[in-house]
Amino acid sequence: MVDEPTRNGAGPSQPAAPTVVPSAPPSASRRVYALVGVPPEIQAYAMAKYSRSAQSMLDSVREISAQKAEQFLNTFYFQYGHRSIADMAHLVLAVENVSILAAIHLVDEPLWDGQERSTRYQDFSASGYYVPPEVRQAGQEALFHAEAGALFGAYERLAERLAALLARFVARPDDMDERQYRRTLRARAFDVARGLLPLATHTSVGQIVSARVAERQISRLLAEPWQELQELGAELRQACLAPAEQPLAGAAPEVRAAPTLVKYTQPSQYPRAAYAALAEVARTLETPGDDPDTAVRLVPPQRLLDELATTLLYRADPLGRSYTALARVVEALPAERKQAILAGSVAARGPHDELLREHRCGYPIQLDLCLDIGAFRDLHRHRRCVQVIQPFTARHGFQEPEEVFRLGLGEAAAEAARAEGLVGEYRAALERAGQAAERVSVYLLPLAYRVRALFKMDVAEAAYISELRTAPAGHFSYRHAAWTLVQELLRAEPHLAPLVHATNPTETVDLLRR
């Protein structure tokens, strides 16, 4: 007889069901592979799906169409604000025949990778220059052409004559090819002559950036006061929306770099409003005493509120004062005044605006710099620094030409250049251009003029800059700036000496070593 089952399905005399232990799933085999030829937004979507799907990357890419990627990004990027998705779409962008001024603003991003035409290794005499529409509108186009033409003429003459002069003082080694020898001497001549190139000089930039960086670039450029920068922002956006150039045969029929991720970019108004308000505050502050334009100065430690207030005022200061001078004034202000400066810096901030770069404080090493624009552009590449840059102006003057020629050419060749009148011609060209830059347009400001910038960094980055930028093959201007950085740092923190491996640039330099 079979017992009737109970209500729960087991009869009274039925033995308990055996416990079933599931077997372990077979281990997945490890795979590491590279993907190429995937449009950036589809790649970003496929990467984002990793947090929501067990699919492989290959399967994700195969499954996603451009339409599905756009739908996904519209939902998760724009509606839900998952902005890290744009970090995974990397874009290759070329920006050609823009002014050096525009290039500096373009690359001024902490997370940026790219290259620009080198003023050390290329002859810029045939590059031409940008004429800003603002100059045309002011009826000063003829004057602009005259001043820019004078600078380019002086640059071309100086580069040619210095290369010939160096050949008289630097003998070619037996193991060096004649063409390499001439090329190296020309590069040394360009090291000096580049100081005459104005900010209007045409250059080209190639960059590989994430869509988030491109989005920030575009919004920032669209809000700049210069028309060239506004147009550049609009053209960057269009380059992301339009079909991309495909230089290699056999490429996909049509690929757009980031048609969804950048389509809503708008001018970033918050920074401009904040800087304008801070400029009014800075204008009311008096800095007693003389404040010489020291090339590199290590900033003494500050309380965090003092550092925030000083950094904000420094960036917006219409008088172009040094960070050190403003820090002395801020330190003496009442705490309520400092707090008001900080509150004013975020008064115009919208719900989607990031904090200003000037709010990034608390780094142990801060350098108050006043360097020629050429050297600054070399140090500008160090993305692990927080860089706060004041507007370009002729106010800070330029490095003494006698010192420039001595450092760039060596004692004997520099003395010959002085005797032949080259130093005097260089000085006269810079003085004339500085006046024109103040009277006509900042685009006429030569690279020899100084710019103020504040660099904040950790110890490892300071050691890296010291080692890399004092190397013998580097440009003499940033070599001496980096060496001063080393001396300032070790004077304040001598125990850091084991971390710093710098080369003294005052020692004899082999002009043929590149």
pLDDT of res. 151: 97
Give dist(CA 441, CA 98) in Å, integer.
16
Q: What does each of the 514 residues of the chain score in pLDDT, given as a tens digit?
A: 434 443 344 444 444 555 555 555 666 688 887 787 888 888 887 777 777 777 888 888 888 877 677 776 667 565 555 567 778 788 899 999 999 999 999 999 999 999 999 888 888 988 899 999 999 999 999 999 999 999 999 999 999 999 999 999 999 998 899 999 999 999 999 999 999 999 999 999 999 999 999 999 999 999 999 999 999 999 999 999 898 888 876 666 678 888 888 888 999 999 999 999 999 999 999 987 667 778 899 999 999 999 999 999 999 999 999 999 999 999 999 999 999 999 999 999 998 899 999 999 999 999 999 999 999 999 999 999 999 999 999 999 999 999 999 999 999 999 999 999 999 999 999 999 999 999 999 999 999 999 999 999 999 999 999 999 999 888 889 999 999 999 999 999 999 999 999 999 887 667 776 5
Give dist(CA 475, CA 468) in Å, integer.
11
At residue 292, what is the residue type? P
* Long-range contact set of residues 402-407: C-beta below 8 Å, sequence gap at least 24: 404/192, 404/195, 404/448, 404/477, 405/192, 407/476, 407/477, 407/480, 407/505
pLDDT of res. 362: 95
Q: Which residues, 6+ apart, have CB-to-CB distance to 284 below 8 Å?
A: none
In our burial notation (b when 16+ CB lie closer than 10 A, e otherwise), range 262-290 reads: beebeebebbeebbebbeebbeebebeee
Query: What's the token pair of residue 277?
Result: 């308000």
Mutual orientation of helices 335-344 and 304-316 as an angle, nearest 10°? 50
pLDDT of res. 45: 78
Query: What's the token pair of residue 473?
Result: 């093959």
Sign of the torsion angle spanned by Cα atoms 226, 232, 235, 237: negative
pLDDT of res. 8: 41
Per DSSP, helices labelled H in 170-226 are 178-193, 211-222
Are the C-beta atoms of residues 367 and 299 closer than 8 Å to each other?
yes
Give dist(CA 306, CA 341) in Å, integer.
10
Q: Is 290 left (phi over 0), alpha (psi -120 to 50) or beta?
A: beta
Question: In terms of Cα–Cα distance, which of 399, 372, 369 is closest to 386?
Answer: 369
pLDDT of res. 39: 84
Question: In terms of Cα–Cα distance, which of 335, 353, 284 is closest to 313?
Answer: 284
Give dist(CA 466, CA 478) in Å, integer.
10
Query: What's the token pair of residue 173?
Result: 């080694």
pLDDT of res. 317: 96
pLDDT of res. 140: 97
Are the C-beta atoms of residues 373 and 453 closer than 8 Å to each other?
no
Give dist(CA 488, CA 367) in Å, integer.
9
Give dist(CA 394, CA 442) in Å, integer.
8
Name residue, tokens 């505050």: 281
Give dist(CA 41, CA 91) in Å, integer.
9
